[in-house]
Homo-oligomer: A and B are copies of this chain.
Amino acid sequence: MLLIRRLRDTALTLTRQLNKTSLSFKRGYSYSIKDAIVLQINGETLKFPHIWLRDNCQCEQCFHPSAKSRILDWSKFNLDSKPTEVHKDENSVQVTWDDGHTSRYRLDWLKFRSFTEENQQQYETELYKPPKVTWKGEDFQKICTINDYNEIVSTDEALYKWLKDLSTYGVSLIRNTPSDDTAIDAILQRVGFPKQTHYGLKFIVQNVPNTSNVAYLSSNLQMHTDLPYYGYCPGVNLLHCLVQTNSDGGENTLSDCHYIANYMKEHHPDQYKILTNTEVEWSDIGVENGNEFYKLYRSPVICVDKCDHVWRINFSIPQRGSHFPGPIELVKPWYEAYSLFFELNRKFSASFKVDAGSILVFDNIRLLHGRNQYQDSGENVRKLIGAYIDWDEVYSRLRSLKVKLEKRSYY
């Protein structure tokens, strides 16, 4: 945990440096104390800018209580509002503005939104998104928690724990799932709703010759992310194993690309840079249920934000298009980096055979997954039911449950 905290500190510092850099382009703006109210809250000295306070007045003229939304008319908003009076009592502070308007803020509400690095970090971890913990193959048994289908369906505690594990490690298993094509629906409904793609709201993974997708073959399915050719690539993949193969093969392989990306950054910085900077074109062209699709999307293998923080992985051998959108000089180095990434994912992967009755759930924009070749027979036809759900819905459910389970309001 210490390491995670340290990494998060570094990221935060980088963000701040970046933000400060952007400020250096500005007209030497310096933030003077007279633009803010200074309050002592629980022994901390905290500053709150006037403009932010005025913008976030919580009275019913400025803030709609049921829509939990600001209803200020921005065309009349005064960027230079100043308080004429500030009165603090035990639990709140009342500010009278120079236009006569009065605002009241609870002190705990203010503290949770204050601008110190420590308080901002607390807000982020507690409410915005739980921090991720990376892993490699040998850690898999420890980090992949096993959750019970009926508990997730019936209790908020189990639902919360499962989603938190999933967001932290990017993978988790659900056991004791009824042997029914629609069993996965109850799980999807507990979170929100499935993400539709051109393969439908759900899909069946079974051996189909002359298929529109190589995942519907029984041959070796090399490690990949699903649907990298979608700009809005499905966030979470749920695969309910109804029938597992009795033949050799059929095992799943998983790897945590956040671990691989960190590893490459340290040990192979040139290749890391190539994979983060070079857009390639992901592709899927065909017909499904009579509907033609022609998906193309350009994106690097490792997508990083301005703080060099990985937010999405794209990887597929079959679904990388034949068009290479970069300059010819980059072709060979890019293939070398891509091959290295693939090799590292194989090296640091975990392999296991999912039982019938289990749902394997994983972060599709973080992990690679694959499956070994298998052989169907007359009585034993391997069958999975798959569905996707987006991170928007998972994080939303996590926050709603947190508020409910901890019986607290952040407003």
Q: What is the interface of chain A, defined by CB distance below 8 A to chain B?
A: 15-16, 18-20, 22-23, 25-27, 29-31, 35-36, 47, 49, 51-52, 55-56, 64, 66-75, 77, 79, 112-113, 115, 120, 123-124, 127-128, 192-193, 196, 198, 210-214, 219-220, 222, 230-232, 269-270, 273-274, 277-279, 281, 283-286, 291-298, 306, 317-320, 322-333, 335-336, 339, 342, 346, 390-393, 395-396, 399-400, 403-404, 411
B323 touching A396 by the CB < 8 A rule? no
Kindly provide the distance from the CB of A123 to the nearest chain B CB, expressed in whole angstroms. Answer: 6
* Contact (Cβ within 8 A) B320 A70: yes
Min CB–CB distance A291 → chain B (angstroms): 7
Contact A399–B297 (Cβ < 8 Å):
no
Kindly provide the distance from the CB of A34 to the nearest chain B CB, expressed in whole angstroms. Answer: 12
In the assembled complex, 13 residue pairs joining A and B whose CB atoms fall closer than 8 Å, in A order, are A19-B277, A22-B274, A26-B270, A29-B332, A51-B331, A52-B331, A67-B212, A67-B213, A67-B318, A70-B320, A128-B298, A193-B196, A293-B400
CA distance A68 to B332 in the complex (A): 23
Q: Are B296 and A128 in contact (CB under 8 A)?
A: yes
Is B67 within 8 A of A22, CB to CB? no
Interface of A is mostly: mixed
A335 CB contacts on chain B under 8 angstroms: 51-52, 55, 79
Q: How far apart sit A71 and B279, CA to CA, in the bound complex (Å)? A: 22
Asked whether, in the complex, the Cβ of A294 is within 8 Å of the Cβ of B400, the reply is: yes
Which residue of chain B is the closest to A298 with respect to CB atoms? B128
- Other A-B contacts than A15-B326, A20-B327, A75-B342, 9 sampled, CB-CB below 8 A, are A31-B331, A31-B332, A71-B214, A71-B219, A77-B339, A193-B196, A293-B396, A293-B400, A294-B396
Give the residues in chain B near A306, CB-CB below 8 Å: 277
CB of A206, distance to nearest CB on chain B (Å) = 15
Q: Across the interface, which residues of B come within 8 angstroms of A19, CB to CB? A: 277-278, 326-327, 330
- What 4 pairs between A and B have smallest CB-CB spacing? A69-B318, A294-B399, A115-B328, A292-B400
Cβ-closest chain B residue relative to A294 = B399
Q: Knowing A68-B285, A232-B392, A342-B74 touch, does A35 contact B400 (C-beta < 8 A)?
A: no
How far apart are A329's CB and chain B's nearest CB, in angstroms?
4
Given known contacts A70-B320, A198-B192, A333-B29, is B298 in contact with A36 (CB within 8 Å)?
A: no
Q: How far is the CA of A280 from the CA of B411 in the complex (A)?
A: 18
Q: Which residues in B have their C-beta under 8 angstroms from that of A67?
A: 211-214, 286, 318
User: Would you give the shortest CB distance from A122 to chain B, in whole angstroms?
Assistant: 11
Complex contacts, A281 vs chain B, CB 8 Å: 128
Cα distance A293–B404 when bound, in Å? 12
